[in-house]
Structure 1
């Protein structure tokens, strides 16, 4: 006759703790600019047979060791692998325009660069987010800034990007009233993180931003729909 086994105590799983751990593993810990013209490829559900290309701004090393391409997309500097929206875009892969090679993982030289840089700049954990790195803006990205106080939206050139110890990446914008010397350099008092002043920040590629500046009717209509939807 077998000896009855005492039941194991039920394991309590704290979902909030698990979510926090998963987010921490995916947070960015180091950035490297993309300077060789590599692109992200994506397609839209409305036109699944057409591939669209968008230049990469940078590569990012996550805490779990994964290296991902990064593009200014909608309201954030976004990992390409996270783009999975039928309406706005679904990530397909990376492309080298010079060779037409298409690949899905980060190139080895960028992985090595990021891993060695992260090991060299071994930052200590802090209770409050601290600035880890500043990256220049190389694509001519613009930010559409909106607030809920009824003030008109502003279209501003993105100057650069800041990576913080909690993994957040903020776009650096210029307060024209505080510009004292030019050219503007990282660390100047006229620069500020976009979300520190604006409720909503949308990113646009240079071509779209120029159409907005030129008051292209189709672009302005699409912009009006987006603003209305956001405020609704």
Structure 2
């Protein structure tokens, strides 16, 4: 009689390793500024018949080859596709204000630009997180900076964004006491990563930041509700 086949050994599936690999494929590896005024289009549940436009700050290339538009939104520089909450904003597509065309995928010229740049700046893997790229902020983005829920907050302009080798992006703010030259430019010693000094950051477009600084009552009320509703507190 022939030998009976041996049972296959059980395979142990490391779910955490799988999650890490999936996350790595989604990490950003290169940024390109948006300089032609293209916008993200989104909707709110309160006004389902109305679409809103928000300027795109940059485009990002993920390790898996996907291209995403990026906007300063709430607490981070956020891929547009992640906006899927009708209360805060639900992503509809991209828009060219000049032609009023709305499209689902990033423009081809940005795909080519990012792919070529990623091939040229092909960084080697490092054991420690390293700085990959710095991008100036071209939208006048401001950050609401808070250290504790009950402490005074500050509104500070965002001068740029740092992309790191783990795919994270940090906002660059300025220490006013260390500014020695004007205008403030990337590389100046006065700049620091926002989360290195502030426990909480919320990002706003320039016109909203100006309303906050002018102490517009309606804007301050909305701001108070947003901070009080923050699930991280």
- TM-score, with normalisation over the residues of structure 1? 0.95
Alignment of 1:167 with 2:167, yes or no, is yes
Matched residues in 1 for 2:88 and 2:54: separation? 13
Matched residues in 1 for 2:116 and 2:2: separation? 57
Superposed counterparts of 1:75-86, under 5 Å? 75-86=75-86
Matched residues in 2 for 1:43 and 1:66: separation? 23
- TM-score, with normalisation over the residues of structure 2? 0.95
How many equivalent pairs are there? 232
Matched residues in 1 for 2:4 and 2:69: separation? 55
Matched residues in 2 for 1:192 and 1:113: separation? 28
3-state DSSP of counterpart to 1:122: coil
Specify whether residues 7 and 45 from structure 1 end up closer, same or farther in structure 2 by C-alpha distance, changes over 3 A only: farther
Which region of structure 1 is more displaced relative to structure 2, 200-209 or 145-154?
145-154
Matched residues in 1 for 2:172 and 2:15: separation? 34
Q: CA RMSD, aligned part only?
A: 1.7
Who is 2:202 aligned against? 202
Unaligned runs of 5+ in 2: none
Which region of structure 1 is more displaced relative to structure 2, 43-52 or 222-231?
222-231
Alignment of 1:73 with 2:73, yes or no, is yes
Who is 2:26 aligned against? 26
Who is 2:153 aligned against? 153
* Deviation at residue 3 of structure 1 after TM alignment: 8.2
Which region of structure 1 is more displaced relative to structure 2, 7-16 or 199-208?
7-16
Matched residues in 2 for 1:84 and 1:191: separation? 33
Who is 1:216 aligned against? 216
* Deviation at residue 5 of structure 1 after TM alignment: 4.5
